[in-house]
Amino acid sequence: MSFDVICFDCDSTLSRIEGIDELARRVGLGEEMSKLTDLAMNGVVPLEAVYERRLSLIRPDQDSINWLADLYIAEIVEGVKEVFASLLAQNKAVHIVSGGLRQAILPLAKCVCLPENHVHAVDIYFNEDGSYRNYDLNSPLARTGGKAEICRQLLKAQGSLVMIGDGKTDMEAKEAGAYVLGFGGVVDRPIVRQLSDFYVTEPTLLSVVEHIL
């Protein structure tokens, strides 16, 4: 199959980490946050039930976000740069659609030559001293169904769309009429294996190319 719009999740898809869990570990809350993330990604609890709670406990500051941005790049999944280069060379509309924190993801997007306006994630806000203030409470990507909302917007302009990701929230893109490719190369989730239109388990993003071009 060939798609006009190609969307990627970030955490455990483009990078081997879950950003919010790494921020939690940095302040000694790793185990508790990992459990919450896993519940949301496996569809056991809705995303909005854990999103605000996690950030209010971690309260990531500007330095933490910069640190996480570097970690996303250091832990980039094999094949990501090659896949993005190939898709962009073919003038495909490529987007990152993530429930992660936008400022931490932007440097990774720059690393694969993706413009900032093709990164759809949750903005985080800081006080003047760089301490945590809040996040975008109105972002659809901080709640259940948000990825479907973004995919609907992207589908307005162009024909067919594929969403590639590792979590239950990525499967929501089906509600927008998207084809969903489950990526189990970092984390193998049975719910994603069950709900995706196609599922790959190889630890390289190159494994998705034959299914999206």
CA pair distance 165, 23, nearest whole angstrom: 21
Query: HSE (CB half, 13 Å, CA atoms) of 208?
Result: 35
pLDDT < 70: residue spans in the chain: 157-158
Distance CA 42, CA 114 (A): 28
pLDDT at 213: 87
Q: Which residues are within 8 A (CB) of 28 and not within 5 positions of it... i.e. 6 or more apart?
A: none
Domain 5-212 indexed as CATH 3.40.50.720: no
- Give the predicted TM-score (pTM) of the model: 0.95
Task: With beta carbons less than 8 A apart as the criterion, state whether 17 and 75 touch.
Answer: yes
Rounded (10°) angle between helices 19-26 and 48-58: 30
Q: Which residues are catalytic?
A: 9, 11
Angle, CA of 37, 93 and 183, to the nearest 5°: 35
3-state secondary structure of 126: strand
Q: Where are the domains of the chain?
A: 5-212
